Amino acid sequence: MIQVVSQQQMKLSNTKSVFRLIQVNKNISRIAISKITKLSPTTISSIVDELMSKGIVVERLPLDNIGAGRKAISLEINDVKKYIIGMDLNQEGVTGTAFNLKMDPVFTIAERFNKKTLEDVEIIRLLKSIINKLMKAVKGDFNELLGVCIGIPALLDPVKQSIVISTALNIENIDLYHSLQAEFDFPIFFENETLVAATAEKEQYEKSTSPFIYLSINEGLGARVIINDQFLQGANGDSIEIGHMSVDLNGAQCSCGNRGCFELLVSTNVLAVKTNKAMANNTDSILSELMSKEGVSIESAIANAVLMNDPLAIQIVDEIAIDLGNGIVNVINIFNPEMIVIGGRLSTLGDRLLLGVQKQAEKRAIKPFFERCTIGLVKQRDNTISRGAAIYTLNRVIESQIN
């Protein structure tokens, strides 16, 4: 099928590319942007002028250049007056971070839920509270909030802008959007946590990397596929469910009704079951001591035990890597991606997990597809959801302001 790109889509794509170059390069000129993007100087000037008219980009002092002639004016993101808030809503509570337009974190506030009263009223109260506190905290440095995005572990209705269901929060059919939008006069977005995490991670790689696939492996397995800077969506506007791809027809029954789903073989829950079962038959492992330490997750304990060459920990990671690799083989064969990034808490198992996955994929995936595909671990670990939510918001704001 031939995909026809409209003039508006081309303009939007070019604007995002120009904005990104200004965002990541200090003191870049119009002519430098033109050389990098291969766009004409006239097109670059038109895009830059529009970004400047919106107050998103500003001109700075002339750049020093060698030789005679007119000095090039440098361009920078206007990170003084405008800002964005990205938020992470999960089963523990809410973390909100204010970012300038260069995506530097400015101020962070985190609050926990009172789980005894956790329902939509409590969630709305906490979200409003953190937004207001962040606005107050940065008031002296910024005067315009461009928008807020909240990443949430939930299935969302993009039309009604409501939560269909969130097993992590144990809520369903909740309209958080209109409750918040009625109080604030800036755009508010709700997005699935895997989507915003994928957005944050994609920023760490070349823009041209496509297809780009992000796997978020926690209690379940979420996935996002980005093709030519666009998220792949199904007929109902929702993402595809790689986690419910069957990799073992004789496997356990999944809550989705299928058998042997990918996420039943690779998740933090599976890791816990494997570890507890293995430790019952091997009391000499250093894992017992590491897992007994307060605040240490099972993934971190196993990762540290692997670094200490603990045989049991190595065995557990190798088993998980085989199952994860087998599922990724299917992903490679279906999507023929340039990049697959393994994220979520399972990724903290580290390089041994990655090596095992790569070996399994090399053995079983279609050879030309595997040779073009890079499999890696996440680069962005700190504040991933909030940062991805902020990047998502800025992209939406730019889209809304392109004529």
* pLDDT digits 0-9 by tens, 343-382: 988 999 999 999 999 999 999 999 999 999 999 998 877 7
In eight-state DSSP terms, residue 259 is B
CB atoms within 10 A of CB 293: 10
Residue with tokens 């980009």: 57
Predicted TM-score (pTM) of this structure: 0.80
Alpha carbon 302 to its chain's center: 25
In eight-state DSSP terms, residue 190 is E
Task: Establish whether domains 7-77 and 82-199+384-401 are of one fold.
Answer: no
Band the pLDDT of 218: cuts 50, 70, 90: confident
Return mean pLDDT, the chain. Answer: 84
* pLDDT digits 0-9 by tens, 170-188: 777 888 888 888 889 899 9
Average pLDDT over residues 299-311: 91
Domain ranges in the chain?
Answer: 7-77, 82-199+384-401, 206-377
CATH for the stretch 7-77:
1.10.10.10
Could you check whether the bond before residue 187 is cis, i.e. omega within 30 degrees of 0? no
How many Cα atoms sit within 13 Å of 63 on the Cβ side?
A: 17
* pLDDT digits 0-9 by tens, 20-48: 788 777 778 888 888 888 888 888 888 88
pLDDT at residue 3, rounded to an integer: 45
CATH for the stretch 206-377:
3.30.420.40
Sort 292 into a burial class: Cβ within 10 Å, 0-12 / 13-18 / 19+.
exposed
82-199+384-401, CATH topology level: Nucleotidyltransferase; domain 5 (3.30.420)
Q: Count the residues in the chain.
A: 403
Which helix (H) or strand (E) is 189 found in, with range?
A: strand 188-192
3-state SS, residue 19 = helix
pLDDT above 70 (res 155): yes
Average pLDDT over residues 251-276: 87
Cross-strand pairs, 46: none
d(CA 288, CA 293) in angstroms, rounded, equals: 9
pLDDT at residue 353, rounded to an integer: 96
In eight-state DSSP terms, residue 56 is S
Helical packing angle, 311-335 and 351-364, nearest 10°? 50
pLDDT above 60 (res 67): no
pLDDT above 80 (res 64): no
In eight-state DSSP terms, residue 167 is T
Q: How far separated are the first and last CA of the chain, in Å rounded?
A: 28
Average pLDDT over residues 289-312: 86
pLDDT above 70 (res 65): no
* pLDDT digits 0-9 by tens, 115-152: 555 677 778 888 999 999 999 999 888 888 999 999 98
pLDDT at residue 291, rounded to an integer: 80
Identify the sign of the CA torsion 194, 99, 111, 384: positive
Using alpha carbons, select from 339, 86, 346 the residue that is nearest to residue 196: 86
pLDDT at residue 236, rounded to an integer: 63
